Amino acid sequence: MRIVVLVKQVPDTAAQIQIKPDGSGIVEEGLKYILNPYDEFAVEEAVRLKEKISSSELFVLTVGLERTKEILRTCIAVGADQAVLILEEGEPLDPFSTAELLAKKIESLHPDLILSGKQAADDDMAYIGGAVAQRLNFPFVSVVTQVEILENGKKAKIKRQIEGGEEIIEVDLPCVLSAQKGLNEPRYPSLAGMMKAKKKEIEVIKAADLVPDIRKFARTKLERLQPVPVRPAGKILQGSPEKMVKDLVRFLKDEEKVI
């Protein structure tokens, strides 16, 4: 079985994100970057399937910058066989263009199964899995919590959590699945895995070499980022109970105009 996992490098979820004054992006200095936490579940699931199904091959694929190689090494350290970086160092691409690049590369890998995280922890867009499936004309099941491969890799049985229960879905392969928390417990990379990852060659393709007119694919344009308006501080009433009740009523009537 040939498995492709789509991964993204995102700022550490514990980091304090600051928006640049001009709203064009976030301040990157001093930020630590990590493998998107939902992608960890996707990678772990792929490694487990690979361990279960003999002669499987596991590719990890990302669109990113030079530094994005770090997360590919993390993936190799936990069991990925091949890693591909589609390098795009210009203005960030919109998700539609990113999906086009990924789909283009996936076509040449002829996978039986594609996995991604259910969403990226930075932009929460939850877009790529579905867009890649659409572009490749593959079925897509999102937010999955269990994967079982059936009939010699022709079908898969999927579980997904829904309000008040679980949905069990059968899907033909190849398909795209997006991983939800709870799918598995991701392993830690071992020292031996890290050493293997260090030696492994990462394939780098320039975005423009893969899709020459990639800049024409954009369907959306990021206008600007802006901070959430700060909530004004609360008011604390003071004095005797009678005075506080009077003040409260006046506040609700005259200032907030809710009564």
How far apart, in whole angstroms, are the C-alpha atoms of residue 84 and residue 80? 11
When binding is defined by CB under 8 A, the residue of 189, 196, 202, 251 that contacts other proteins is 189
When binding is defined by CB under 8 A, the residue of 14, 192, 228, 230 that contacts other proteins is 192
How crowded is the C-beta side of 8, counted as CA atoms within 13 Å?
A: 25
Residue number, 163 or 188, with CB nearest to other proteins = 188
> Per CB under 8 A, which region of 13-21, 53-61, 66-74, 108-116 contacts other proteins?
66-74
When binding is defined by CB under 8 A, the residue of 20, 52, 154, 198 that contacts other proteins is 198
Instruction: State the nearest-atom distance from the C-beta of 194 to other proteins, in Å.
Output: 6
When binding is defined by CB under 8 A, the residue of 137, 188, 223, 230 that contacts other proteins is 188
233 lies in the binding site for other proteins (CB under 8 A):
no
How far apart, in whole angstroms, are the C-alpha atoms of residue 158 and residue 218? 32
> Per CB under 8 A, which region of 55-63, 71-79, 137-145, 229-237 contacts other proteins?
71-79
Instruction: Please say whether the beta carbons of 140 and 40 come within 8 A.
Output: no
> Per CB under 8 A, which region of 72-80, 110-118, 125-133, 138-146 contacts other proteins?
72-80
Q: Are strands 113-117 and 140-150 parallel, antiparallel or unpaired?
A: unpaired
Rg of the chain over Cα atoms, rounded to whole angstroms, equals: 23
How far apart, in whole angstroms, are the C-alpha atoms of residue 190 and residue 196? 10
How far apart, in whole angstroms, are the C-alpha atoms of residue 73 and residue 127? 24
Instruction: State the nearest-atom distance from the C-beta of 39 to other proteins, in Å.
Output: 15
**Residue at token pair 């929460």:** 124
Instruction: Please say whether the beta carbons of 117 and 179 come within 8 A.
Output: yes
Instruction: State the nearest-atom distance from the C-beta of 67 to other proteins, in Å.
Output: 10
When binding is defined by CB under 8 A, the residue of 9, 56, 68, 74 that contacts other proteins is 74
Question: What is the total count of residues that contact other proteins (CB under 8 A)?
Answer: 12
Residue number, 27 or 195, with CB nearest to other proteins = 195
How far apart, in whole angstroms, are the C-alpha atoms of residue 88 and residue 259? 56
Beta bridge partners of 160: 144, 167
How far apart, in whole angstroms, are the C-alpha atoms of residue 148 and residue 29? 42
Instruction: State the nearest-atom distance from the C-beta of 189 to other proteins, in Å.
Output: 5
- Residue numbers at the binding site for other proteins (CB under 8 A): 70, 73-74, 77, 188-192, 194-195, 198
